[in-house]
Structure 1
């Protein structure tokens, strides 16, 4: 149930909560002026995850988690900053030499020699595209789409992402405009 609701395992979720709490004391639960406990870190971070996972608005979390819109927005800003500070060096970077050697070894062990990861282009329908931009981002379906190119390895470490710009976008054009292959060369 937890994995379905939060789209991640409980241990990973609690690990993120622990690291974010340690990074920013905004998420540490305090008492108000009359001694009652205020909003917990779990409530704030659950509100943030609901916004990120389901695309719901900040004021929609008020009904479910009982947090004001302004608190949810501040939590999102501080959560994003804390995650970047805490995890960027490990997860939001290009592979270094040791990573490339490890990925090549794993690929070879799995029967795919000289394979670093999997590249894919995904077409996202841009539901709230401004009307003035809609034709510039129109894909083959006729509706506004954004193409994201991503490279992931066997354990879903996404080490490259690129969003296609407006114009005639297909997978080939996005791959051509991306700096992925020039960075690996």
Structure 2
């Protein structure tokens, strides 16, 4: 059975929107404010995560973000791995193209489609970005692990990783690690009722 792993870049106050400043939030580009050494360590951690994954799960907007930034044609170990992985894209319509190899649209009910995907894939299915998708997965207890790259900035506004839920979702801190000099890499797993 597959595991759904949410891998997110977040500010201290949980903002995931506009980390590179391209969305026009006015408070973006907090990713660009980290030191080069931290960025190199971040890329190494992201590459390690991709190498261990068996698939990617994304919302349509996050998929389009990766495509627009040239990930389908980038080179290097991380880009090559992402290109080779199966990509499952939650979308209300079929993908045009598809624009990135090994991409499949999941066009049905999100909860049903992701539940089926967990049964079909063995290993980690990593979710990049995809705020709305993460909200849905969290609400329906489909997240098996959270990996949060937490940046040392309070952004103060913007879309947050977690929205309202119908109940408290307890998590257990599994590991902590420092990436470079300023990023806290925190790994949590949900505490499920026995």
Classify the TM-score, shorter chain: under 0.3
Structure with greater contact order relative to length (CA < 8 Å, sep ≥ 6): 2
The TM-score normalised by the length of structure 2 is 0.26
Structure holding more strand per residue: 2
Larger C-alpha radius of gyration, 1 or 2?
1
